[in-house]
Amino acid sequence: MTELDHARTLLFVPGHRPDRFAKAAAAGADAVVLDLEDAVGVEEKDTAREHVAEFLGSGRSAVVRINGVGTPWHAEDLAMVRQHSCAIMLPKAADPAQVAAVSRQVPAVIPLIETAAGVLGAAEICRVEGVVRPAFGSVDLAAELGVDHTDRQALLHARSALVLAAAAAELAAPLDGVTTAVHDEALLIADSAHAASLGFAGKLCIHPKQLPTVRAAFTPSAETVQWANAVLRASADGSVAVLDGQMIDKPVVDRARRILGQIPS
């Protein structure tokens, strides 16, 4: 699932709105997430599942956010996605054993870490076979903690814990949670820059208009790429070097290579 490893933008689409599926797929997101969970009311769960199954059955691909373990719809959601061999997003991921049980049935899992238990168990969850990378559910976690989901300081520890968990498991860096203010471009820019500064490598989106801003935030700038290439040239023989008065050793070289690996192909 290398496309999910490198995805910078994942766009949610409500599962009960099939009229939006094709539009979302054409919007330019790295992946579309057909949502059977929070975006769908109880009375529309079954219908939404049928719409998603029809879309996937037509040969088109998507990630599906199924309903969580222990909900009345989980088993049927899981049975449906198994028929189409698609990646899933698992909400309320908190128990590594439950994540593993789901992971064995699908090609890839993005665990959505959105509870206190999930944050504390993130290191183990990220080590589950089949987990591609974690995503951060900032809104749900903030509600559980009793804080404002737009308060970056309040959620700083949780975000950093997720970055560390993914890195320790040698996974792709995590995806940050949504910016709910769809029309606030300045807030989206600031949210994305904050997440990128902490080590996130992408973001969940709820509207196509958010995609260009998020994509730009998680793409290395021209200046950063120039620096990374200069580092590799300076250390071409593998020895310690000096570039612009700064020592260049293996950790710096590793960072430069990682930056260049983030450039879209």
pLDDT digits (tens, 9 = 90+) for 57-90: 999 999 999 999 999 999 999 999 999 999 999 9
Q: Annotated binding residue at 159?
A: no
Q: Annotated binding residue at 140?
A: yes
Q: Which residues pair with 111 in a beta bridge?
A: 90
C-alpha closest to that of 7 among 125, 172, 130, 128: 172
Q: Annotated binding residue at 114?
A: yes
- On whether the CB atoms of residues 237 and 248 are closer than 8 A, the answer is no
Range of the domain at 118: 2-217
pLDDT digits (tens, 9 = 90+) for 197-225: 999 999 999 999 999 999 999 987 777 77
C-alpha closest to that of 101 among 77, 81, 130: 130
Q: What is the rounded CA–CA span in Å between residue 194 and residue 254? A: 22
Same structural domain for residues 176 and 249?
no
Strand 241-243 to 246-248 pairing? antiparallel
Same structural domain for residues 88 and 8?
yes
- On whether the CB atoms of residues 66 and 77 are closer than 8 A, the answer is yes
Same structural domain for residues 118 and 25?
yes
Same structural domain for residues 165 and 40?
yes
Count of domains for the chain: 2
- On whether the CB atoms of residues 56 and 82 are closer than 8 A, the answer is no
C-alpha closest to that of 77 among 223, 86, 260: 86
Q: What is the pTM of this model?
A: 0.90
